[in-house]
């Protein structure tokens, strides 16, 4: 399988051991995941914000808060994955709470008030474009069932191919349950990253420029009830990322020809 060969080459090259590689990779995840959700920060602006705490001029503060909260949630997710913490409904709610810490809203419903910055399940029905999600009264049960299935799968010996598919499937299923009022996409992508980090795999990124294709893959998978559609989309995103990093690393390692560098003064 192409992805297995790419992962093997990625690991053999020692890309993850390059100084600051992990930091820049995490910032790339922050950038693309929040941009899918409406942030207009560039990747450079995201780097400066995360590394130096400087918000970009002319951009809404809420977008910077979305990015910094996502970075905190990503670090929290990876920390728990590397510690081999078991997946629980509570852990998912904690991740969503960090994602929505600064931008969450209070929703008043007939069944009570829900603060979306706490990781609480929604108490109302929601739609997104052409997608209709399960009734709110099924959310908790469906989320528990998903966690149980994931834990059962992770308790067995999985091949690398099976580990990847499990991470993609978890992503699709959580975002399709849509258990929260907000932050479902970010939390679902973090769940995918949790499983990848748990197994020591490179972390996947959904490229923000592929947002339309990403949404279409989600819609088509639901409508046709064929998980392979979403798996194929994510495999393409994953292959693109690994090839990009491998090529960049190999270019960096090439010996200089001639002077190789010119002082510009």
70 has catalytic annotation: no
Catalytic residue among 31, 32, 70, 178: 178
Closest by CA to 213, choosing from 241, 232, 239, 228, is 232
Residue 188, annotated ligand binder?
yes
Q: Is 189 annotated as a binding residue?
A: yes
Residue 17, annotated as binding a ligand = no
187 appears as a binding residue in the annotation: yes
Task: Render 12-35 in DSSP notation, one character per residue.
Answer: HHTGGGSTTHHHHHHHHHHHHHHH
Residue 57 in marked binding region: no
77 assigned to a ligand binding site = no
How far is C-alpha 209 from the chain's CA centre? Answer: 15
Catalytic residue ranges: 178
Residues belonging to the binding site are 182-189
Residues belonging to the binding site for ATP are 182-189
């Amino acid at each position: 399988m192409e992805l297995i060969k790419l992962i093997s080459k990625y690991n053999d090259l020692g890309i993850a051991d390059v100084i600051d590689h992990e930091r820049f990779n995490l910032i790339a995840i922050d950038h693309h995941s929040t941009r899918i959700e409406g942030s207009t920060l560039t990747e450079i602006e995201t780097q400066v914000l995360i590394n130096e705490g400087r918000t970009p001029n002319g951009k809404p503060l809420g977008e910077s808060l979305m990015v910094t909260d996502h970075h905190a949630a990503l670090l929290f997710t990876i920390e728990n994955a590397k510690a081999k913490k078991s997946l629980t409904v509570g852990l998912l709610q904690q991740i969503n709470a960090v994602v929505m810490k600064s931008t969450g809203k209070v929703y008043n419903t007939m069944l009570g008030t829900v603060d979306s910055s706490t990781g609480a399940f929604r108490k109302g029905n929601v739609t997104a474009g052409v997608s209709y999600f399960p009734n709110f009264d099924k959310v908790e049960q469906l989320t528990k069932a998903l966690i149980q299935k994931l834990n059962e799968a992770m308790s067995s010996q999985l091949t690398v191919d099976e580990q990847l598919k499990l991470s993609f499937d978890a992503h699709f299923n959580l975002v399709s349950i849509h258990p929260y009022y907000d932050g479902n996409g970010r939390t679902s992508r973090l769940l995918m990253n949790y499983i990848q980090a748990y197994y020591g795999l490179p972390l996947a990124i959904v490229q923000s420029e592929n947002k339309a294709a990403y949404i279409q893959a989600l819609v088509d998978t639901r409508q046709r009830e064929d998980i392979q559609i979403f798996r194929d989309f994510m495999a393409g995103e994953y292959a693109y990322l690994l090839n990009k990093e491998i090529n960049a690393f190999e270019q960096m390692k090439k010996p200089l020809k001639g002077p190789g560098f010119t002082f510009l003064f």
